[in-house]
Amino acid sequence: MTTKTISIGENVYNELLKHKKSGESFSEELLRLVHGKGKISDCAGLWSWMKKSEISAIESAIEKRRAASRVAKKEKMIL
């Protein structure tokens, strides 16, 4: 099998290491993460390492999208 070398930040390496299953290679883990759909419960706590400002920005973007969707639905009902 051909191999490729990639560079990742230490923080990314540590995150991969935390989620790697026993006996699983990093290649296997990355394939699982890329191809696997997983369970919603697997996502629990993933935001715990993020800064509050990053989480707030994500929540704000979600709320803006929801508001735009509500407006679009109302406009569609009026037509």
Output the six-digit token pair for 72: 């679009």
13-57 per-position pLDDT tens digit: 999 999 899 999 999 998 888 887 767 777 777 778 888 898 899
Same domain, 39 and 74: no
Q: Are 28 and 20 in contact (CB under 8 A)?
A: no
Q: Residue 1 has what DSSP assignment?
A: -
d(C-alpha 69, C-alpha 75), whole Å: 10
User: For the chain, what's the residue count?
Assistant: 79
- In this prediction, residue 68 carries a pLDDT of 93
Same domain, 36 and 7: yes
Q: Into how many domains does the chain fold? A: 2
Same domain, 31 and 66: no
Same domain, 8 and 29: yes
Domain span including residue 71: 50-79
Amino acid present at 49: W
Same domain, 34 and 2: yes
Query: First vs last Cα of the chain: how many Å apart?
Result: 60
